[in-house]
């Protein structure tokens, strides 16, 4: 029978005993109010919504107008000095995302995660250059910041994960994001990514209120973690794209779970049920009895680009590749919005 002390705890407190909890937002005020997190994650959509927020005291102004001007000015100088292959507005977006993330340095214990430009998702070389610029921006704006805490998020295309492979060898931590299947999982593990982010719900659910994902990726999260642990791979699983506290609590016990402020608030305000069950399904019940693909099979697959691409195309009859393409398109749209936001400054 649950103790009185257990009954008084919140689901958020319970979750923190089972998994590392990451803050999936750039709203630093909410993060401070809800306690310490392991990592802070973001992407182009999150950055756009934060950077376009109005000032609470003066609705005619943007809350981060000064930050936007700082990023635009620094990007202008850097672009003139180096003639980089990235445009001035692309560099300004990178810098704005880094400046937002730096606010979390004292709030999170470990990593600040910034996503590369999704429009480079099919270029290994340009993604590497993008990621290395992001690290340099952290050094530029905060010379004392420990850049080993930077982790760069990269879409899980073949080219993106090859970029992760090279960056990890250069000492830059990476997260393979927009991940929907084991084909991507084994490739990211072979590349020694620091994290993968399986999307429990396809990205569309956050932008189309009429849509519900009927094929949530709980089993993939469990299978990916089981695969990595079975073969002693360094990559950790960070579940992403969650839409309810039920989604979150189903995954209690996963390495990492990144959670939006709205869901964190609900978890914080919800007491542990009397029967101790916060979800109808548990992560333990989702773990397969054996790995679906052996390490030898995986290594054979990931060393043959054509074979991997075909296997990925065939995964769930093409649905997983379609989910990746959809996510890249959505993030690319927000990349354009961000570039328009900084272009006038």
What is the set of active-site residues?
Answer: 153
Q: What one-character DSSP code corresponds to residue 279? A: -
Q: How far apart are CA 195 and CA 192, in angstroms?
A: 8
* CB proximity list for 104: less than 8 A, separation 6 or greater: 23, 26, 28, 31, 40, 112
> Which residues 6+ apart lie within 8 Å of 120 measured at CB?
126, 127, 130
Nearest to 175 by CA among 114, 134, 252, 228: 114
Q: What is the DSSP letter of 115?
A: E
- Please tell me the chain's helix, strand, coil percentages from 3-state DSSP, rounded to the nearest 5: 55, 15, 35
Alpha helices in 25-147 (DSSP H): 28-33, 44-51, 65-82, 88-102, 124-141
């Amino acid at each position: 029978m649950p103790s009185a002390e257990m009954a008084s705890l919140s689901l958020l407190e319970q979750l923190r005993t089972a998994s590392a909890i990451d803050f999936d937002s750039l709203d630093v005020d909410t993060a401070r109010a809800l306690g310490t997190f392991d990592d802070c994650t973001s992407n182009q959509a999150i950055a756009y919504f934060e950077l376009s927020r109005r000032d609470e005291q003066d609705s005619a102004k943007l809350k981060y107008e000064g930050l936007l001007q700082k990023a635009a000015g620094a990007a202008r100088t850097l672009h003139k000095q180096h003639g980089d292959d990235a445009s001035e507005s692309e560099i300004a977006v990178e810098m704005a995302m880094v400046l937002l993330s730096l606010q979390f340095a004292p709030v999170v214990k470990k990593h600040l995660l910034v996503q590369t430009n999704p429009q480079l998702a099919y270029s290994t070389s340009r993604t590497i250059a993008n990621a290395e610029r992001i690290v340099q921006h952290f050094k530029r704006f905060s010379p004392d910041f420990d850049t080993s805490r930077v982790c760069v998020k990269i879409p899980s295309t073949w080219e993106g994960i090859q970029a992760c492979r090279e960056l990890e060898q250069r000492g830059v931590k990476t997260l393979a994001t927009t991940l929907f299947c084991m084909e991507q999982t084994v490739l990211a593990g072979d590349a020694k990514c620091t994290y993968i982010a399986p999307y429990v719900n396809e990205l569309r659910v956050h932008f189309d209120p009429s849509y519900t994902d009927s094929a949530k990726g709980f089993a993939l999260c469990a299978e990916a973690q089981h695969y990595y642990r079975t073969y002693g791979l360094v990559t950790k699983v960070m579940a992403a794209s969650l839409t309810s506290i039920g989604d979150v609590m189903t995954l209690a016990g996963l390495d990492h779970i990144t959670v939006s402020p709205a869901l964190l608030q609900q978890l914080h305000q919800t007491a542990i049920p009397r029967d101790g069950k916060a979800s109808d399904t548990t992560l333990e019940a989702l773990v397969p009895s054996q790995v679906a693909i052996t390490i030898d099979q995986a290594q054979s697959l990931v060393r043959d680009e054509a074979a991997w691409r075909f296997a990925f195309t065939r995964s769930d009859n093409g649905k997983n590749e379609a989910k990746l393409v959809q996510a890249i398109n959505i993030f690319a749209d927000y990349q354009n919005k961000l570039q328009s936001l900084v272009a006038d400054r």
